[in-house]
Chains A and B, each alone.
Chain A
Amino acid sequence: MADEKMKMVPTRDGFGEGLLILGKENKNVVVLSADLTESTRAAWFQKDYPGRFFGMGVAEQDMFGTAAGLALIGKIPFACTFGVFASGRAWDQIRVSIAYMNLSVKIAGTHAGISVGPDGATHQALEEIALMRILPNMTVVVPCDALEARRATVEAAKIKGPVYLRFGRAPVPMITKEEDSFSIGRANVLREGNDITIFACGQMVYEAMLACDELKREGISARLINLHTPKPIDRDVIIRAARETGAMVTVEEHTVLGGMGSAIAEVVAQAYPVPIKMVGVKDKFGVSGDPEQLFEHFGLTPKNIVIAAREALQMKG
């Protein structure tokens, strides 16, 4: 799918790089891992800063509680595991021991979405955006490439309060550049357009770019917005898009129930209602398969985005 010339790097690598920057910049940053140290790239930090790394074994609930304690005494803990185990297994610990106390624990959920591939449903996190954004005080960030992942990681450390960072396993095209602006909570308009707006997060931003190219060939001018922060959501950008383009498509590697698309719909429905079509996993668990097959299987390809855009435009009338 990806352009041959584009550099391909997993967002979890960007996270690992971000941790290395933080390791150097801020002595209070510590890292915890629930027996997935290499996979989450926490190992990069562990190698350089062994005294600030804590292996917690296969014990996510305890890891997030321990991270809360470290935050209470002034550390900035990054607690790492797969997205499923972070957001699901330890949800009540994150709710009570972290979010309720508004502690500066940074939750790194890697291996998100169906791009995990063959490991199947138990390891394919499709619910974290929903599970995390409903918690008061929580910030949720879904970077689209490794550079954005690195910047989100570094910026997360500066935020007072908990942050959930969603990363993927598979290499994805590097689409942002150092000179691009990035700020948690501020969506990036990647392409201007007047007929329709496409919102995407994570690796779906690239797929949405391809869809915009196709729409352009069909004479449809699509605005493309990288909504890397589902919470706190950039209301201004969304409402402006509703006013100026009058129709929307949301694209996420996540269930369509409660995710980024729902968050956008909540804003639009209450501020400036326009038709919205949602591209995402339709209330299903994942399955084993190669990532590319799975994107086809669940209808998360540029083709699906184009179809959704045509439907939204029809609804717009």
Chain B
Amino acid sequence: MKRPNVLELQKKAIGIRKDILKMLMIARSGHTGGSLSAVDILVALYYYKLKNDPARPGWKERDRFLLSKGHACPALYAVLADKGYFPRDLLWTLRRLGSPLQGHPQMGLSGIEISSGSLGQGLSIADGIALGARMDGLDIRVYCLMGDGETNEGQIWEAAMTAAHYKLDNVCGIVDCNRLQIDGFCCDVKDPGALKHKWQNFGWNTIEIDGHDIKALMDAYDEAQGIKGRPTMIIANTVKGKGVSFIENKVEWHGVAPKAEEYEKAILELDEALKSLK
């Protein structure tokens, strides 16, 4: 696939961040920090790498994207709406009774591949899809986004062993390493240590990058696709709350939404950032 212009994707990412903040402000609850940290990872994937067609969400030969860190769903919803999977107006119904935009993703909404929210479960599902695709000779790739706090979950490491054992080179994991979890900095809560080495020792090809560098993300997705005989894990170093100064790196912004005045302030900052992009 032809590479999109990096500047255009950076602009796109700012637009997605604005949508996320609006959704959360209206919903008055939700996960701000971990949604904002994942935006560039999603943008590089959905606007460059992922083989998908919003008009055919059930297309058999589509690549799959699984959001294992389900609480970051505002970011995914904003991307899916922008891609045309569902009407943009639905975004403002997030977390409301009757809305398909549940507080954590629920299968059934166009573009949502799995229900998630209980952490640690996505990678096993990715492995299963990848195994089945290989049995059927389907040339698809399965992407799974996890959080670094999420790697506290033991099931992640069970799944890591499965993917390596079955040589699932059609699996590409991404860890959104924003260094924070609910109780504080990951290194203080339960230090995950050098994640890159852990994944390497589990038999994975690993790529460590700046998770806000669109070009580096596109390069990493390309490299992962070229690796044969083992799965790839992209360790994406990010900033929790990325893009809004007063939200960045603040543990208290894990699970709260911006109030109206905070939202206005954030939008001003993002508009400034948009203007300064070149």
Which A residues lie at the B interface, using CB under 8 A? 30, 51-52, 54, 56-57, 59, 61-75, 77, 92-93, 95-97, 100-101
CA–CA, A65 and B136, complex, Å: 19
Provide the residues of chain A in CB contact with B128, threshold 8 Å: 65-73, 77
Q: Which residues on the A side are within 8 Å of B159 (C-beta)?
A: 62, 65-66
25 A/B residue pairs, CB under 8 Å, sorted by A: A30-B135, A57-B161, A59-B155, A61-B120, A61-B124, A61-B154, A62-B155, A62-B161, A65-B128, A66-B127, A66-B159, A70-B129, A72-B113, A72-B129, A72-B132, A73-B129, A73-B136, A74-B132, A75-B132, A77-B128, A92-B118, A93-B121, A96-B118, A97-B115, A101-B114
Whether B124 contacts A62 by the Cβ 8 Å rule is yes
Known A75-B135, A97-B124; 9 more pairs at CB < 8 Å = A56-B162, A59-B158, A65-B127, A66-B125, A66-B128, A69-B132, A70-B131, A73-B129, A73-B136
A66 touching B121 in the complex, CB below 8 Å, given contacts A73-B128, A73-B132, A73-B136: no
A66 to B159 alpha-carbon distance, docked (Å): 8
| Closest Cβ–Cβ distance, residue B83 to chain A (whole Å) | 20
* Contact string against A for B residues 126-142, beta-carbon threshold 8 Å, 1 for contact and 0 otherwise: 11111111011010000
Please pick, from B113, B115, B162, the residue contacting A96 in the complex, using a CB distance under 8 A. B115
Q: Which of B125, B133, B165 has the most CB of A within 10 A?
A: B125
Query: For residue B156, which residue of chain A has the nearest CB?
Result: A62
A residues within 8 A CB of B106? 100
A-B contact count (CB 8 A): 102
Q: B residues engaging A (CB < 8 A)? A: 106-107, 113-118, 120-121, 123-133, 135-136, 138, 154-155, 158-159, 161-162, 165-166
- Residues on B with beta carbons closer than 8 Å to the beta carbon of A74: 132, 136
| A97 contacts across to B, CB distance below 8 A | 114-115, 121, 124-125
Give Cα A107 to B83, complex, Å.
37
Which residues from A are CB-within-8-Å of B135? Answer: 30, 51-52, 75
Given A59-B161, A97-B124, does the pair A66, B131 have CB atoms closer than 8 Å?
Answer: yes
A93 to B125, CA, bound (A): 10
- A307 and B155 alpha carbons, distance in the complex (Å): 47
Q: Is the CB of A65 within 8 A of B116?
A: no
Task: Output the nearest chain B residue to A64 by Cβ-Cβ distance.
Answer: B124
Complex CA distance for A92 and B129, rounded to whole angstroms: 20
